[in-house]
Amino acid sequence: MNQQITILVVVDVEAALTQDSLENNLYLIDNLKNDGSKGIGSNNLTTIINGTHWLDKSQASEVIINWQPISIASLPSTLGNSYHKHHSSIQLTNCIGEIDKLVSHEKIKKSAIRDKIDSIPQVYYIEGKGGNLIATNIKVLDIIGNPLKEKKDVPSYNPPQINNITGEAVSREVIFPAQYGSPISMKDGFYWSASVDTSKEGIHSYSMQITLYDTIIKQGKFILVPKFFEFNANLQISTHPMVNGFTKGALSYLPII
């Protein structure tokens, strides 16, 4: 049986971009409070992994860590990262229907059609190498999922992206991280996951390479600008056996050392 560990990387994206620092704007949460993780909810997390290995140090049962980045001032991650695509497709379809009705009316007003067209959400652009703007299919939505009407309104920030996981936990071969694709809507695409060599007792640090997307307005368009950050956290691997959180008893087939 695999123990699946979730580590949430919660970021106040706007504050981090404004202060150009993740230091006071990033919080880490794992789901191992009962096992003794320290610093849950703070920016200094030590995730406890109770080691499960046979007496000869070979692994008895794997432990998998899954990282999920979350932005505080954004549409909730439970909607799925591609919510902006689906939601706007609904809006677009409705809008086209409305415009059809207006056009078939005898006395149509141009302003009525203009209003309908204005309700179609805009998309984000990114800047190409030559300075030209390239459209993405990410719609500009506010925090309750409506298309942004005014340039001055606050958009729902794109969640932080983890680009790589490095550090001594990786170089010591304690964790083996990789990026995986996932059909689960909350992850929607890529996420970082690592299996853990639970025979390597001790405290090991790792580093997350994180990209935050800032938004600037140029030529009347919303442009995404990536900014790069790095943040560390710790893993502590112990030889304590895993226990069932509900019964506080042992799991089956585990050796008690």
Partner 1 sequence: MIDVVGVLSSESLMGNLYLFDNNRRYGSNNEGTGILKTFVKEGDQIIWTAVPIEPEAFASITSVDIDENICHLEKGKFEGSDIDYWKATVLKNIDSISYQITYKLGNSINNFTTTEEVPFLIGTEKTT
Residues that bind partner 1 (CB under 8 A): 4, 6, 8, 10, 12, 14-15, 18-19, 24-25, 27, 29, 31, 33-34, 40-42, 68, 70, 72-73, 75-79, 83, 86-87, 90-91, 143-145, 184, 186-187, 245-246
Shortest reach from residue 71's CB to partner 1, in Å: 9
Shortest reach from residue 115's CB to partner 1, in Å: 19
Nearest CB to partner 1, comparing residues 12 and 197: 12
Shortest reach from residue 56's CB to partner 1, in Å: 33
Instruction: Please count the CA atoms within 13 angstroms of the CA of 29 that sit on its side-chain side.
Output: 8
Shortest reach from residue 76's CB to partner 1, in Å: 4
Given a contact cutoff of 8 angstroms between Cβ atoms, the answer to whether 210 and 229 are in contact is yes
Shortest reach from residue 109's CB to partner 1, in Å: 27
Given a contact cutoff of 8 angstroms between Cβ atoms, the answer to whether 257 and 240 are in contact is no
Nearest CB to partner 1, comparing residues 84 and 200: 84
Nearest CB to partner 1, comparing residues 73 and 251: 73
List of long-range contacts for 115-120, beta carbons under 8 Å, 24+ apart: 118/149, 119/91, 119/95, 119/147, 120/88, 120/91, 120/92, 120/95, 120/147
Q: Token digits for 209?
A: 């390479």
Nearest CB to partner 1, comparing residues 21 and 239: 21
Shortest reach from residue 75's CB to partner 1, in Å: 7
Strand order in the sheet with 26-30: 26-30, 3-11, 63-71, 189-196, 175-182
Residue type, 160: P
Shortest reach from residue 20's CB to partner 1, in Å: 13
Beta strands in the chain (DSSP E): 3-11, 26-30, 46-50, 63-71, 123-127, 133-139, 161-166, 175-182, 189-196, 202-218, 221-238
Beta bridge partners of 229: 210
Residue type, 12: D
Nearest CB to partner 1, comparing residues 18 and 171: 18
DSSP 8-state code for residue 239? -
